[in-house]
Amino acid sequence: MFESLKNLLKHFTGDQEKEAIAPATASQQPASTLHAIKKSSSLYHALGDFNLGIGTIGPANRNDIDQKVLVDMYQSVAAGEFNIPANGVVPEICVDGRTDKDGKRKNAPCAAGGTLSIVYGSDLGGTPANNDINEIQLTTRIINALKEKGHNTGVHGDDHSSCGCGACSKAPTIYQHITEHINDIASLISQFGINLTEVEKGAILNQAKNRLNQPGFFADDRATVVKTAQDCGAAYEELVGAHNELGIALNTKSGTTVDRSAIRAKYGPQYDMFVVDAWAFGTAAKDINNNGSDEYTQRIAKAITLQNVATASVLGHGSLSIIPVA
């Protein structure tokens, strides 16, 4: 079912295929709106099933959505009804479900923070880095390396925040979240056929801790990271409005992304989805791995996956379902 993702992220240990296709069991959550939502959409795993989702974005915090419509949207997204061709083969734009003022997004592969996902993923999964480089220098290095390989790069802000990209504004919290919840995150991704070895887990955990302990690694003014990316040539999208994401589309159909405008056109402007084009992670990892070994390519691809899940968990509520598009 998730062969395309598995093929890109080779060398998994174990066989999670049976678990991967098993429907999520009924919610263990206490009776609540979350419970009602879980019952109606229990075909899908939610962040809360894995002790994840410390943020606010998600269906349980909404009173402007219809449960039947929500389930129909999940099923249509899962069926690939909104998949469209994507330009490019590495993550370029953010998973953010919003659009620009014209209701549009670029048709490009998505990851948390756009190109910044590759910056953080290569940092967390790459060879143990020296403490003489900071986030700004790393961003410059990665964007230049991607450009040399002929890839487009991109970041975004929004119309009302100094740093309107949650993956960027909360990057230190996301690293911290990885250190605190790596087992929960590993449990979630194993449901989708991606298995983190103990060696990989230890290396990523150490790197996250090192960065959190490295004075000045993270820029105090988060907007300067986005600005640096732009100065290096990354395209900029200005998104508008509030976060209305109701789920996470985990897209493993190579060469495609999910059309946010088409979802709104069918269901209404308050129906948005985060879009994670996981099929593009393997290529990004390969092209950014300066070590050259397959081992590190796999680790970087998995670290990008972790950074995406951790971002969703920091920004999103436990009621946020993960909808595989395979």
List residues binding Zn ion (CB under 5 A): 94, 96, 165, 167
Tokens, residue 272: 């948005």
Tell me how far, at minimum, the Cβ of 224 lies from Zn ion, in Å. Answer: 16
| CA–CA distance, 71 with 76 (Å, rounded to integer) | 9
Cβ distance to Zn ion smaller for residue 222 or 302: 222
306 burial (CB, 10 Å; 0-12 / 13-18 / 19+) is buried
Tell me how far, at minimum, the Cβ of 272 lies from Zn ion, in Å. Answer: 13
Cβ distance to Zn ion smaller for residue 156 or 317: 156
Tell me how far, at minimum, the Cβ of 186 lies from Zn ion, in Å. Answer: 24
Q: Taking each helix axis from N to C terminus, what angle separates 198-213 and 171-190, rounded to the nearest 10 degrees?
A: 170
Tokens, residue 109: 């592969």
Nearest Cα neighbor of 177 from 87, 127, 112 is 112
Q: Tell me, what DSSP letter sits at residue 47?
A: G
Cβ distance to Zn ion smaller for residue 191 or 305: 305
Tell me how far, at minimum, the Cβ of 116 lies from Zn ion, in Å. Answer: 8
Tell me how far, at minimum, the Cβ of 273 lies from Zn ion, in Å. Answer: 14
Cβ distance to Zn ion smaller for residue 163 or 326: 163
Q: Give Cα separations from 9 to 121, 140, 299 (angstroms).
A: 14, 26, 9
Tokens 């790596």, residue located: 182
| CA–CA distance, 88 with 118 (Å, rounded to integer) | 14
